[in-house]
Structure 1
Amino acid sequence: MEEKPLLTFNSSRALLDVLIRAGLITVLVLFCYDIFHPFLNVMLWSLILAVTLYPLNQMLGAKLGGRDGWAAVILVILGLVILMLPLSLLGASVADSVQTGIHAVENGQFEIPPPPANVENWPLIGAPLYGIWLHASQDLSWAFHQVAPHLKDWSKVALHQVAGVGTGIVVFILALIFAGLIMKNGERGQRTAVAITSRVSGPVRGPQIAELCTATIRAVAQGVVGIAFIQMLLIGVALVIMGIPAAGVLALLVLLLGIMQLPVLLITLPVVIYAFAQGGVSASTIIFAIWMIIAGLSDNVLKPMLLGRGVAVPMPVVLIGALGGMITSGIIGLFTGPVILAIGYELFIGWVYQPAEAVTPLTQTVEEHSP
């Protein structure tokens, strides 16, 4: 009976020690996060690119005699050469389109031009399309003038998104370079990932979780975001070359539709009609129309090649990840958001449906340890 106060004192002291240690660890984690936060998007995008491209890096490294480092350098250089020109064109187009729209809203100069006369002679859709277009060109200006004062406050947000386009291109360059460094040390990184997940979830579940995360990243990055990104490049560059107004904005809409698994013909078909209405039937407009149709249907060829690898993530999860990522992280969030949310979804579902293991009941454990 006399040992109870001493036992209580020791228990309280042990609890206090645990709380102090937990507090110090929390403070350290917060400081580390605050320091690392500016580089978070870059490192996330680097890791996603590295995991996605690592099989290709291994294949190229085997052909180079096991030189994975040189294979990573070649992939990074090829990526920069192939992607930087289209991304620069689309980024400049987005910036010009948004700035022009902001100036039009602020100055009250927004208007829709009247339709060309030959639109009325188109079969089937010519007459109704001409009437709707003409009415919009005559009446929409007044309606927009009424709404314009309320939209001026959004100009700062739009300018911030324009700045985010340029930042996203810079982040992509840095992420691709860092991804090359990660791929160079791919085997060590894989062992580290397995060690971390094993430390968190145990030696049995740890390797499974690491494999699940890898499969999820590749499935979403290749089968969903990758296909949408390829379509955006194919269609966006053609829009810029053809001189279509707001080409960069339309390319971003193509990216969103691709992530949503909706047909991008919803964008390409009206653009083709607009091109024929402005330029008439010529060799350039016919080639443009054929290219847009092929690019719009390219997902039917790419999906069997890329989709279905690894795990199947519901499309609402991917869509919410894309929209939420864009809101929180700008343009780069369109790519990182779906992947991160898909990983969280798969881990949660895997935890929910994890088979019940042979766990000793709590009452039995207490009885075994009781004197």
Structure 2
Amino acid sequence: MRESIERRSFILALALVNVVFALVLKPFWGAIFWACAVAVIFFPLQEKLKSIFGEKPNRAALSTLMVALFIVVLPVLGIAYSFVQEGLSFYQKLDSGKVNPGEFFEEIRTAFPFINDLLAQFDITPADVRERLSSFAVTASRMFAEQALSIGQNTFAFIMSVALMLYLTFFLLRDGKQLLYVLMKALPLGDERERQLFQKFAEVTRATVKGNIVVAMVQGALGGLIFWLLDIPGPILWGVVMAFLSLIPAVGASLVWLPVSIYLFATGSWVAGSILVAYGAVVIGLADNVLRPLLVGRDTKLPDYLVLFSTLGGIALFGITGFVLGPLIAALFLVFWQLFMSEFNTTDVYEDDKPQR
């Protein structure tokens, strides 16, 4: 009896310590998660470098970290900086009246008269739409400017977060195998189950991060290029927006180039509008339809519809990190149920209902 009470008390204390420790680390969860993701992605390179450097794991880990820094971290920071600069410029134009969403709507309404009939069916007046568009644009751009200003004011905290991520990545690369062994020993799920779960975690994280980032960079670059060639204002801004939106499978980048092409048609730029539609549907769309299944769906072994819903749900719950966490949770969900069915449902519960031959 006493032993049972002591065991339960210890488990309760263990759970309490874990919760408190998780709260202590809460401000750094983003840095910890991305450190784990980068370490998982570049771990195969770390293993190859260890065979070259031999008994010098620190050099192998540092070399791998430098490769990750130049391939992933610095390009992402550069794109984010360009996005902020272009976004602030767009806000200034909007605030000064150089850009007026209400005028854009009027041009589209004039070019497509059926919009008036459509609005009338829902008892909406063009003035209401103009007012709401202008209000939304001002509110959204002001919010963006405030966030950008907040980032600028918290530059030190951001730099510290990146530094902590890189610092932790170094140790995860160097001591990854030992940490994994300790974690498997501590978890009471069974070594084989834990091995399958960690393997799926590595596969999905590597596939979603690599695949989505590659697709985002390709679609953003292609979108920015065509906007620049067609002399559409803010090609860098819209290219980065398309890169971020491309994290949403199937519809991402089209949320930018399709409305812009409609506006080009409305203003009489039929050639530019046709080029943008064809380029968006064929070239930008091809990058999504070909690269994403190859880089994400095949490696995660998740159906396309599950990737879409888990990505949208993950972004809604966790923010930008959700494009990895969503599919990861979905994959772990499937693995847990596969383990359950293989180990606990060994007999067919409907065996008596099978038709007799």
Q: Please state which band the TM-score falls in when normalised by the shorter chain.
A: 0.5 to 0.7
Shift of 1:34: 1.3
Distance 1:56 1:31, change over 3 A: same
14, 17, 24: which one aligns with 1:35: 24
201, 205, 208: which one aligns with 1:217: 205
Aligned partner letter, 2:126: L
Count of residues paired in the alignment: 326
What residue number does 1:333 align with? 321
- On the 8 A contact 1:222/1:306 being kept in 2, the answer is yes
Distance 1:230 1:165, change over 3 A: farther
What residue number does 2:128 align with? 142
Q: TM-score, normalised by structure 1?
A: 0.64
- On the 8 A contact 2:101/2:134 being kept in 1, the answer is no
189, 198, 210: which one aligns with 2:176: 189
What residue number does 1:112 align with? 103
What residue number does 1:3 align with? none
What residue number does 1:8 align with? none
What residue number does 2:6 align with? 17
CA RMSD of aligned residues (A): 5.0
- On the 8 A contact 1:42/1:172 being kept in 2, the answer is no
Q: Distance in 2 between matches of 1:266 and 1:159?
A: 18
Question: Which structure has more RCO (C-alpha within 8 Å, separation ≥ 6)?
Answer: 1
What residue number does 1:90 align with? 83
What residue number does 2:34 align with? 45
What residue number does 2:15 align with? 26
Shift of 1:73: 1.0
1:241-280 superposed matches below 5 A = 242-244=231-233, 248=237, 251-252=240-241, 255-256=244-245, 258-262=247-251, 264-265=253-254, 267-272=256-261, 274=263
64, 85, 88: which one aligns with 1:71: 64
Deviations 1:204-245 (A, max 9, x none): 33323222221122233233x234422453256448855546
Shift of 1:165: 9.7
1:280-295 superposed matches below 5 A = 294-295=283-284
Distance 1:111 1:250, change over 3 A: farther
Shift of 1:36: 0.3
213, 216, 219: which one aligns with 1:226: 213
- On the 8 A contact 1:220/1:339 being kept in 2, the answer is yes
Shift of 1:340: 3.7
In structure 1, stretches of 5+ residues that fail to align are 1-10, 120-126, 359-371
**Range with bigger deviation, 303-312 or 166-175:** 166-175
Shift of 1:266: 5.7
| Structure having the higher Rg | 1
In structure 2, stretches of 5+ residues that fail to align are 347-357
Q: Distance in 2 between matches of 1:186 and 1:76?
A: 13
- On the 8 A contact 2:257/2:276 being kept in 1, the answer is no
Q: TM-score, normalised by structure 2?
A: 0.66
Shift of 1:15: 4.2
Deviations 1:29-64 (A, max 9, x none): 2221111011112211221122123334555x3797
What residue number does 1:131 align with? 113
